[in-house]
Each structure stands twice: as C-alpha cells, then as structure tokens.
C-alpha cells in the first residue's frame, strides 16, 4: 500500500533572501523515505549539466534530486550563490543586475549514486556555476552589522554528539500554524550560525567558542498571526535560542565574509 509521506527537498524560499529546506508531500513508498546518502568523504561532480532560461510562466522554484539526476528550477545566479556559500544578499559584492533578475533551469546528471549532504550539495552548485557561468570570485572580510551567536548566561544547553564526529549533519524540520520545530543532529556551532541565516536579516557570526558537534532541538514561533492564541505556542526565535539552547543572538558590528565577484557570464549553448 502506498500513502503520502512527507520528505525533505531543497526548495527556494526567498522571504529573507536565503534558502530553507521545505517539506513536500508526495505519494512515495514508505520504504523509500530514507534515501541512501553519499559517503561524507565523497566529492561528487557533474557528468553533464544543461542550462536554459526558465519559462517566465513556470511557478516552480526548487532544487531537487532524483537518483543521479539533479534539477534546479527557476533560479537566479544570485539565489544559487546564496545557497552555495551560505550568505546573505548583503554579502555579495559586484554582481551585475542580470545575476539578480534572470532565472535559469539546470538539469544534470551526477557521477555517483546517493543523495548529497549539505556541503556536497553546495559544492555541486559552485562547480556548476564555475563550469557553465564562468563564475570566479574571492572572499574578503568587511565590517558590517551582524548577529553574533554567543553563549548565554548560565552556559549552553546542548548535548555533545559522540556517535560519529565525521558523520553527516542532519536537520529535521516541521512547520505548521506559524510554528517551527527543528531537530539538529551532529551540528557544529559554525553550521548553526549558517542555518540561522534563513531566520534573520543579516549575517550570523559564531562567537560561542564551542568546539565539537551537538544534538539539540529548537521550537519557536515564526509567524504570530498564524499561531494559536491560547498561550500554548513557543516563544519567538531570539527567546527560544536563549531558553532552549543556552545561546543568544546579539546584534553587533563585526568582521564578516563578503563574496566579491570577479567574473560571471551568461552560459553558452549546451
């Protein structure tokens, strides 16, 4: 018997200028809901990747993997850069206007089986931009408004992961009625800072000083207008991080990476 089972795909959600994994429901075999991941040491590449202008009437806007096939739908180069480098729009310097406005479809085949982890996925996007868009850039440090991720008074409330320090990071997400529930496994503070980009409007810099990888849960209200009013909902993000994780996000000015574009061009014929 087949029934609808939620599964995670990378779906572009540009409300704050970065990407967040979103849940889609499709009718899939229950046994197929946990795809085989690539080994964490794998360095996947493209066998072939075709790039074409998106249909302006196409409402789809996603990143998806189907076996070895990789499909990016209706994406700007800017959107792909934000995903690939884990940055905000304010951290991209020197982008031509078309990078922000023209949308593209990418359909390619990878050179190995398995679903890529986040870092492998980001590496694939960078390789595709380099090969098909002639993309070249360098990083610089500049002072700008950021959120500093720090340890709150009383210390962190995180469980150190001791299972496999070289294992893949995992993040489970559930969102409904304006509330977001996230479960993190094998996650470093640097990775948490990057993942917080989807919830805030400026770069996040890890200043916790915490080493290692951790397991933890974070429940917070994302949209109060959609949440129940009976007092049962969790707090907003900033309060939840402090109460549940023993961390805090503090607005400061600090040095942060910016991506300076040296070269980018529209792709040639496939």
**pLDDT band at residue 37, thresholds of 50, 70 and 90?**
confident
57 secondary structure, DSSP code: T
DSSP E strand boundaries for the chain: 3-11, 20-28, 46-53, 62-66, 69-76, 92-93, 103-110, 136-151, 159-160, 170-176, 179-187, 204-206, 214-221, 247-263
Handedness of CA 74, 80, 83, 87 (dihedral sign): negative
Tens of pLDDT, residue by residue over 5-20, are: 233 333 333 333 334 3
Between β-strands 136-151 and 92-93, what pairing exists: parallel, antiparallel or unpaired? Answer: unpaired
Q: Find tokens 């704050």 and name the residue.
A: 16
Which of these, 162, 158, 159, 186, lies nearest to 172 by C-alpha position?
A: 186
Helix (H) or strand (E) holding 120: helix 118-133
pTM above 0.85, yes or no: no
User: 3-state DSSP call for residue 32?
Assistant: helix
Instruction: Report the alpha-carbon distance of residue 246 to residue 196 in Å, rounded.
Output: 15
Dump pLDDT digits (tens) for 135-181: 999 999 999 999 999 999 999 999 999 887 677 788 888 888 888 99
pLDDT of residue 70: 93
Residue 30 pLDDT > 50:
no
d(CA 238, CA 235): 8
pLDDT tens for 180-228 read 999 999 999 999 998 898 889 899 999 999 999 999 999 999 888 888 8
Residue range 90-132, pLDDT digits in tens: 999 999 999 999 999 999 999 999 888 888 999 999 999 999 9
Q: How far apart are alpha carbons 59 and 46 in whole angstroms?
A: 26
**pLDDT tens per residue, range 193-203:** 988 988 898 99
């Amino acid at each position: 018997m087949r029934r609808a089972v939620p599964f995670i795909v990378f779906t572009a959600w540009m409300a704050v200028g970065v990407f967040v994994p979103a849940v889609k429901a499709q009718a899939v075999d229950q046994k197929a809901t946990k795809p085989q991941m690539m080994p964490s040491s794998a360095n996947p590449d493209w066998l072939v990747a075709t790039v074409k202008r998106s249909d302006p009437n196409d409402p789809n806007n996603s990143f998806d993997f189907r076996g070895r096939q990789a499909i990016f739908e209706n994406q700007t180069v800017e959107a792909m850069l934000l995903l690939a480098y884990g940055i905000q729009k304010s951290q991209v310097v020197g982008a031509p206007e078309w990078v922000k406005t023209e949308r593209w479809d990418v359909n390619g085949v990878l050179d190995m089986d398995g679903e890529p982890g986040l870092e492998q996925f980001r590496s694939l996007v960078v390789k595709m931009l380099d090969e098909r868009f002639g993309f070249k850039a360098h990083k610089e440090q500049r002072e700008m408004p950021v959120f500093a991720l720090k340890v709150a008074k009383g210390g962190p409330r995180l469980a150190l992961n001791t299972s496999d320090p070289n294992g893949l990071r995992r993040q489970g997400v559930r969102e409904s009625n304006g509330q977001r529930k996230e479960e993190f496994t094998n996650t470093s503070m640097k990775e948490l800072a990057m993942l917080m980009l989807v919830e805030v409007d400026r770069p996040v810099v890890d200043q916790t000083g915490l080493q290692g990888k951790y397991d933890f849960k974070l429940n917070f209200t994302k949209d109060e207008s959609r949440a129940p009013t009976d007092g049962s909902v969790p707090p907003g993000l900033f309060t939840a991080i402090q109460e549940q994780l023993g961390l805090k996000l503090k607005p400061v000015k600090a040095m942060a990476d910016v991506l300076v574009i040296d070269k980018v061009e529209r792709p040639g014929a496939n």
